[in-house]
Amino acid sequence: MPNTADVWQGTLALMVLKTLEALGPLHGYGIARRIEQTSGDLLSVNYGTLYPALLKLEQEGYISSEWGVSDNNRKAKYYRLTRAGHKQAQREAREWEQATEIMARFMSPQGERS
């Protein structure tokens, strides 16, 4: 199994929003597993970081939650994206794409100058 790294600072909220955008309502464990799977198991989600991030996203109005029953018949809190969350996911994705384009310029052999 490859070494895993913790999710990078500042990216967890976007990963949560994009996961809920792609898959619809999920409980915390499902969100964590999907992030890990999407990374090819190169990232590890720390639950001590995930649940405060979910609470913050809910307080900001980007996600909502309700209690339900999981596949293994246990009580679980399910999170879903709100309309504001869809907009925030798009906004953050654009900002991240711009940041990675800038970093790519520094990582290229000639330090691209356009």
DSSP 104: H
Residue 69 and residue 76 in contact, taking contact as beta carbons nearer than 8 Å:
yes
Architecture in CATH of 5-107: Orthogonal Bundle (1.10)
Domain-wise residue ranges, the chain: 5-107
pLDDT tens sequence across 90-114: 999 999 999 999 999 999 877 555 5
pTM of the entire predicted model: 0.85
Reported as a pLDDT band with limits 50, 70 and 90, residue 75 is very high
pLDDT at 109: 79
pLDDT tops 80 at residue 83: yes
How far apart, in whole angstroms, are the C-alpha atoms of residue 3 and residue 17? 25
Residue 50 and residue 43 in contact, taking contact as beta carbons nearer than 8 Å:
no
Instruction: Give DSSP secondary structure letters for 28-66.
Output: HHHHHHHHHHHTTS-EE--HHHHHHHHHHHHHTTSEEEE
pLDDT tens sequence across 47-71: 899 999 999 999 999 999 999 998 8
pLDDT tens sequence across 2-51: 567 677 767 899 999 999 999 999 999 999 999 999 999 999 999 899 99
pLDDT at 53: 95
